[in-house]
Structure 1
Amino acid sequence: MKSKIDEKVIAIKKEMYLNATAEYIDKNGYKNLKISQLAKYLELSVGTIYNIFGSKEDLYSEYLILKLKNFLEELNNNETKEPIENLKVYLNAKYKIFIQIDETKNYPVINDPFFFHKLDVINHKIVDDIYSFLQRQFKLLFPECKYDYYHITILFKKFSDGFIESYLLKKYNNSNIVDETIELFIKMFKN
């Protein structure tokens, strides 16, 4: 019995440390992540962090999965019967991860601009669940489509990634980025 309790305590601690780590990475970015600084932030030793997460890469994978779970939860909690509105929910949730308005300067601040590109390297059920959300929308939007809905989903994901990348290369007014993404994608898709 004691070992089951110990396992549960370890799992709860790991979840708490992961959530605190996510706050740290969200604030400082992964590129600037130093385990020694994270250890100070969490008030742990560097060794304890490695005991909990294994490696910096494993910690980052768990961070990504946590972010994706939160992302999917937001999609599911806000899903309606209107596919365009659901695509807006997806894009709003996606773009806010990358582009947050800095109140004082009124231009976007980028923390981890390649987060969604990293979805390609994560082989996790959560990614399939996000793709399923998008596929449902395209089935409703294009009921008699000659293309595979999974294919459309990947194209839409990459298309929206392109808006982020283009912003990184040359800043622009992104106040209508969600509507512009949908409008342009549907226009290109229908042609």
Structure 2
Amino acid sequence: MSQMNDKIKNMKRKMILDEALIMFEECGYEELKISDLAKKIGISVGTIYSYFKSKEELYSACVLSEMEKAYEAHKILFAQDISNEDKIKSAIKIKLDIISRKRTSLTSGILNNPFFFESHQILHKDMLYKIYEFYIKPIDELKKIDIDSYQLVYILNSLSNAYLIRWAEDDLESLEGKDEEVFCAFMSILKGCK
């Protein structure tokens, strides 16, 4: 009976998360009301709060859900028999593509919290480290500088985040082609820019 209850709880949690992902993207973080989410799903507000203590916790769970999708995409990518450069370039594209599909839900978070990326990196560090692990071997094989490879992954992440912040602030109309710019900047660091 306990396994059945756990399955039901997991299904409800997933249903809440799936609909929250859609609604955060439709109206943004600030405008989403938990009561509207509950009504859309057909459950009580109390049920949502039994799974997520606050709207912020629900949003954070949505961010983690997207990170889990990124992890799965990275797992497939880094298993391919392609060059280290292509793995890194494609991984950058995966990140920018996933985030570009979430403009409304992310923009308010980025603009209202100057430490948006850093706070989610801390909250979801276990998942992030799992993603970062994919980068270590290719970076080790490509780098011409004496900097720890984990530090280099953080540098790569910061480069792509800089583009995302500019995009959220409407300084960039689109992220299309920006993966190439991030990649070139990162490769110049790896190769020991002068």
Q: Which residue of 2 aligns with 1:154?
A: 154
Q: Which residue of 2 aligns with 1:26?
A: 25
Q: Which residue of 2 aligns with 1:10?
A: 9
For residues 75 and 42 of structure 1, do their structure 2 counterparts lie closer, same or farther at Cα, with a shift above 3 Å needed? Answer: same
- Is residue 19–residue 37 contact of structure 2 (8 Å, CA) maintained in 1? no
CA deviations on 1:13-50 (whole Å, 9 max, x unpaired) are 21222222222223333232221121122122211111
Q: TM-score, normalised by structure 2?
A: 0.81
Give the one of 112, 122, 134 matched to 2:106: 112
Q: Which has the higher strand share?
A: 1
- Count matched residues: 182
**2:106 partner SS:** coil
Letter in 2 for 1:5: M
Structure of greater relative contact order (alpha carbons < 8 Å, 6+ residues apart):
2
Q: Which residue of 2 aligns with 1:46?
A: 45
Flag structure 2 segments of 5+ consecutive residues without an equivalent: 111-115
Q: Which residue of 2 aligns with 1:104?
A: none
Aligned partners of 1:82 and 1:44: how far apart in 2?
A: 49
For residues 90 and 28 of structure 1, do their structure 2 counterparts lie closer, same or farther at Cα, with a shift above 3 Å needed? Answer: farther
Q: Which residue of 1 aligns with 2:73?
A: 74
Letter in 2 for 1:99: S
- Is residue 136–residue 153 contact of structure 2 (8 Å, CA) maintained in 1? yes
Aligned partners of 1:70 and 1:45: how far apart in 2?
A: 28
% of aligned pairs identical? 23
- Is residue 140–residue 149 contact of structure 2 (8 Å, CA) maintained in 1? yes
**2:69 partner SS:** helix
Letter in 1 for 2:39: K
CA deviations on 1:120-144 (whole Å, 9 max, x unpaired) are 23144211111112223211222x5
Flag structure 1 segments of 5+ consecutive residues without an equivalent: 101-107
- Is residue 98–residue 110 contact of structure 1 (8 Å, CA) maintained in 2? no
**1:30 partner SS:** helix
For residues 9 and 24 of structure 1, do their structure 2 counterparts lie closer, same or farther at Cα, with a shift above 3 Å needed? Answer: same
- Residue 186 of structure 1: how far off its partner (Å): 1.7
- Is residue 70–residue 98 contact of structure 2 (8 Å, CA) maintained in 1? no
Counting only pairs closer than 5 Å after superposition, residues 51-66 of structure 1 correspond to structure 2 as 51-66=50-65
